[in-house]
Amino acid sequence: MMVLIAAVALTLAIGDHADSVVIGLVIVVNTTVGVAQEIRADNAVAALSALSAPHARVRREGTDHDVPAANVVPGDVLLLAEGDIIAADAALDEAAALLVDESMLTGESVSVDKDTGTSLHAGTVVVRGRGVATVTATGRASALGRIAALLDDRRRPTPLQLRLASLGRVLAAVTLVLCVLVLSQGLVRGLPLGTMAVTAISLAVAAVPESLPAVVTLALALGARRMAARHALVRRLPAVETLGSVSVLATDKTGTLTEGRMVVQHVWTPLTTIELQGVGYEPEGDVLTEGRPVGPAERHEVQEVLTATALCNDAALRPPPSASPDSRWEAIGDPMEGALLTAAIKAGCPDLTELASTHPRIAEAPFDSLRRRMTTVHALPSGGVLVCLKGAPEAVLVRRSSPTPRRRYVSLVRKRHGSRRAATACWQSHRACARRRPDRPQPGSQA
């Protein structure tokens, strides 16, 4: 850019107004494209920043307030519920089946159980349960802030900028030598000094590749546009070239580059193994066994399993907000429970709203790290109760009851080359349930 400005000054000095206008237009176009791209990127970054914990529920002097996350200070009491983004580092004072997604901080896609006395970190998300915590650190003093402080925000030249700078130095040196040579040769031959000075300056201006910055800027702008079409936000144009120079991408461990989305791929029943096809939380996909569609008996078996998982479930599925191809189904709550709901719909289980109406939940024991299972009790239209349980296989299968429930295994795929397994059990009592017994786990209890 400085070379072009110098070229404009030289052409104006020698009276070459046509070249001055052309070079000036190149400068204007180059500046306009770069500024427009940065403004669009800054606006997008600002919009994304507004999504990061914009508000928090705090308790101050015994009164609950909804305040911007930036106004949270150490000593505030945070009131946390499912779906909340934690606004600051805090010490957990109360917890009820609290499950927190810390993937944006640790890279682990599996949510973490939190008990009283543990620490919560800014930017993480409450997947399930509720809690009360006291703020201990905010901003740069938080764990996320300390990580941000480690990042070197100084701008370094990109490989392309280094090569262009090297090219500029070579051109300048060669041009200077040629100009001096032409000027000296003309004076030796007796030509007028003014004529040779204008000739040397013209040679210097001609040697400046004034179209090169425009070509580079246009190429980078086209690259930024292509990346934007693939949902990659480019804030500065040189970043496009820097990304293109990457040859090796190193990650610290598996799970770092996951989307935090889970899919049920296999269901094992006493009769057969069922394969569920489809991706994400979209409730679409074939139900197969040994590569063929399942029969009525097999479908009934898998529907029994997945109906139990849908009842013993606190998640919900949210349809795409618009008809855009980029809109997707989303799980509200734990990703594993969302995957189970999707599998139930694929298998043709009764509608979730209908299940909630015909099998209302009358008691529950939430999942926790000690029990490693979740239990729900549902009233049946006949007057009896249906008990559903899901959890880690080793926590479900070692417990025996009378009558022995039918047991099922469900394999959940977390990422392309890894899987998680959970067991589901249910049993039915035909005795009417007139009222909740005192020893029966109540909703929200820790039994």
* Cβ burial, residue 27 (10 Å; 0-12/13-18/19+): middle
Query: DSSP letter string over 233-282?
Result: --SSTHHHHHHHT------SSTTTT--S--EEEEEE-SS-EEEE---TT-
Here the tokens at position 322 are 């618009």
CA-based nearest residue to 113, from 423, 331, 371, 447: 371
Exactly one of 252, 286, 326, 439 is catalytic; name it: 252
Cβ proximity of 392 and 422 under 8 Å: yes
Tell me the C-alpha distance between 273 and 264, whole Å.
Answer: 13
Tell me the C-alpha distance between 373 and 394, whole Å.
Answer: 10
CA angle 150, 153, 154 (to 5 degrees): 125
Is 351 one of the annotated active-site residues of the chain? Answer: no
The alpha-helical segments, DSSP class H, found in 108-237 are: 143-150, 159-188, 193-207, 211-229
Tell me the C-alpha distance between 75 and 135, whole Å.
Answer: 5
The total number of residues shown for the chain amounts to: 447
Residue 6 parent element (H or E):
helix 2-13
Residues whose CB is less than 8 angstroms from the CB of residue 258 and which lie 6 or more positions away in sequence, other chains included = 103, 109, 414, 415
The alpha-helical segments, DSSP class H, found in 142-158 are: 143-150
Here the tokens at position 256 are 């770092």
List, by residue number, the catalytic residues.
252
